[in-house]
Amino acid sequence: MSGIPGKKCGNIIFTAEELSNCRDIATMQLCANKLDKKDFFGKFTICHKTEVVKNTLNPVWQPFTIPVRALCNGDYDRTVKVDVYDWDRDGSLRRSKSPSNVLNHKKKGKKKKYINSGTVTLLSFKVESEYTFVDFIRGGTQLNFTVAIDFTASNGKCGRITYTMNAYAMALKAVGEIIQDYDSDKMFPAYGFGAKLPPDGKISHAFPLNSNSENPNCVGIEGVLEAYFQSLRTVQLYGPTNFAPVINQVAR
C-alpha cells in the first residue's frame, strides 16, 4: 500500500475461495449447560448468529437452517467452531470460547480442579439436499400441463376478435411453448370458465375448449390456441369468475 510518498504503509492480502456446487442444507440445534455467571472471554469466518437467550445459564437455542455451502463450502471435513457469548444488560456481548467445553483460561490457570465453565451440546443435526427444477427434469419428471382460460365479461369485446393474439393468447403461447417440452405426449386438456354456452345459454365454469367433453385434450400449444379461438366464436363472455370447478375437474 502507498499513501505517503516515500513510505511503505503495509500490505493487504486477499484470499478467495471458489464456491462449491453443493446444494445441501443443514438444520441443527444447540444448547448449553451450567455456564458461568461472570463475563470472560485460528481464523474463522462467521456464518451464523443465533438469537439471544436471556436470564438463564442453561440456554436452548432455536433450531436453524443454513446452506452447507455457507457453513463449510461443502467440505464436510472442515472444522466448525462454536462461540458462546454472554449478553450484558447494556446490550454488549462478551465471548466465551467453545466448542464442547466452555473454558475460562484465567480460571484454569488459578484453580487446579477447574474443569470448565459449562458445556455446549449439539442436540440435533440433519443434512438434506435442495433440488432444483432442472434436477427433477434430469431425473425424468414429467409435467401434466392443463389450461384454463377466463371467459368472463370483464375481458371485454377485444376477446371476441377471432384469431387475434390477445393478452391471453400471447401469455399461453409464451408459457406453453416452454412447458410443452416437459410433457411427453404433448396432449393438453384445455378448459374455459365463466361463459354462456350455446344453444341454451347455460353458464359453465369448466367447459372443454374443443367442445369434446369426453376428450378435452388438444395437440400441442397450437392445438390449444386453435380451440381457444374457436370458442371465442361460439360462446358469450359472461361470469362470474369461478375457477374452482376447473380445479376440481383436473384433480379427479
Average pLDDT of the residues of the chain: 81
Has residue 93 got a pLDDT over 80?
A: no
β-pair partners for 149:
192
Has residue 100 got a pLDDT over 80?
A: no
CA dist 25 and 74 (Å) reads 10
Interior CA angle at 113 toward 107 and 117, to 5°?
45
User: Which cell numbers in the block locate residue 198?
Assistant: 350455446
The CB-side HSE value for 186 (13 A sphere, CA atoms) comes to: 10
| Confidence band for 112, pLDDT divided at 50, 70 and 90 | low
Q: What pLDDT sits at residue 218? A: 96
β-pair partners for 17:
none
Tell me the one-letter amino acid at 65. T
CA dist 210 and 187 (Å) reads 13
User: Which cell numbers in the block locate residue 249?
Assistant: 375437474
| Chain centroid offset of residue 129 CA | 13
CA dist 196 and 205 (Å) reads 9
pLDDT (tens digit, 9 = 90+) per residue, 114-128?
Answer: 677 778 888 999 999
Cα–Cα distance list, 237 to 38, 194, 202, 241 (Å):
76, 7, 12, 11
Q: What percent of the chain lies above the pLDDT cut of 70?
A: 80
Select the more confidently predicted residue: 188 or 109: 188
pLDDT (tens digit, 9 = 90+) per residue, 55-71?
Answer: 888 889 999 999 998 88
pTM for the complete prediction?
Answer: 0.53
**Contact present, 187 and 219 (Cβ < 8 Å):** yes
Specify the DSSP element, H or E, that contains 148.
strand 147-150
Closest CA to 105 of 118, 114, 113, 92: 114
